[in-house]
């Protein structure tokens, strides 16, 4: 019965209650934390059911799949905001800039250059987050922590980009809390406010450590197909 429609509205109510409880426990305002509903690899019926709940912020990790999921909704859902949370190839920069409101995965100078060109061409400037490879995993995208300060300085100087914040995906099987604390430290050091961190299994911990954006997929939509 994997194709049955989970009760999307109930799942969202539950996740929002957990988000607000974690915020309250941390002495934070839950309203200040953005729930990014990660709709990658989800059937359109679940996405449409989620839209009906009033959820307006969504995350996708591939440009082409995001176009399929969202092309018909863009321009028809006031307040809709799409976040790119997966790696971006330079040859997809223009498509990404046209579709997304936030690109969370800026992680190399060549991509910054492609995005700058794409933004001029599209006449649109999505918000940017810098992805940090906090676990220094060879297979994972993101700027290495040691290179981050120079990278951000270069974004500001060369491209006049002012990133909103930092994003990370902690290594599997490691305690996420230390990665969240580390990301916050890196952001503070660079004068950045926003922190995109925390997924279905660890978003409450991320909120304790200051997440401004949590990226939640399966807890909201059910298992991916
Ligand atoms: C898929 C994905 C998520 C959501 O993961 P869940 O465990 O389903 O909540 C969050 N962030 C990124 C970068 C992802 O690729």
**Residue 4: pLDDT above 70?**
no
Tell me which residue has its CA closest to atom 8 in ligand 1.
217
41 touches ligand 1 (CB under 6 Å): no
Residue among 66, 217, 223 whose CB has most ligand 1 atoms within 8 A, to mutate: 217
49 touches ligand 1 (CB under 6 Å): no
Closest CA to 207 of 35, 62, 14, 38: 35
Does the domain spanning 5-221 belong to CATH 3.20.20.10?
yes
Tell me which residue has its CA closest to atom 10 in ligand 1.
215
Q: From CA 59, how far away is CA 145, in angstroms rounded?
A: 24
Question: Tell me, what's the pLDDT at 1?
Answer: 43
> What b/e string do you get for 162-188 counting C-beta neighbours within 10 Å, with b at 16 or more?
ebbbbbbbbeeeeebeebbebbbebbe
199 touches ligand 1 (CB under 6 Å): yes
For the stretch 74-103, pLDDT in tens is 999 999 999 999 999 999 999 999 999 999
**Residue 2: pLDDT above 60?**
no
Q: CB burial class (10 A; 0-12, 13-18, 19+) of residue 50?
A: buried
For the stretch 149-183, pLDDT in tens is 999 999 999 999 999 999 999 999 999 999 999 99
Per-domain boundaries in the chain: 5-221
């Amino acid at each position: 019965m994997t194709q049955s429609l989970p009760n999307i509205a109930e799942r969202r109510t539950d996740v929002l209650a957990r988000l607000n409880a974690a915020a309250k426990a941390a002495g934070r305002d839950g309203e200040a934390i953005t729930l990014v509903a990660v709709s990658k690899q989800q059937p359109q019926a679940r996405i449409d059911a989620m839209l009906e709940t009033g959820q307006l912020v969504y995350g996708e990790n591939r440009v082409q799949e995001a176009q399929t999921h969202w092309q018909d909704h863009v321009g028809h859902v006031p307040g809709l905001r799409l976040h790119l949370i997966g790696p971006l190839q330079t040859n997809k920069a223009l498509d990404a800039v046209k579709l997304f409101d936030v690109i969370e995965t800026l992680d190399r100078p060549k991509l910054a250059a492609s995005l700058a060109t794409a933004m001029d061409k599209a006449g649109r400037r999505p918000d940017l987050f810098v992805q940090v490879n906090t676990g220094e995993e060879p297979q994972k995208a993101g700027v290495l922590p040691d290179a981050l300060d120079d990278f951000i300085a270069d974004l500001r100087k060369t491209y006049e980009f002012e990133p909103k914040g930092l994003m990370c995906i902690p290594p599997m099987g490691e305690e996420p809390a230390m990665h969240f604390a580390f990301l916050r430290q890196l952001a503070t050091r660079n004068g950045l406010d926003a922190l995109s961190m925390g997924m279905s299994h660890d978003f409450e911990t991320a909120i304790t450590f200051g997440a401004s954006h949590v990226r939640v997929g399966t807890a909201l939509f059910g298992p991916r197909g």
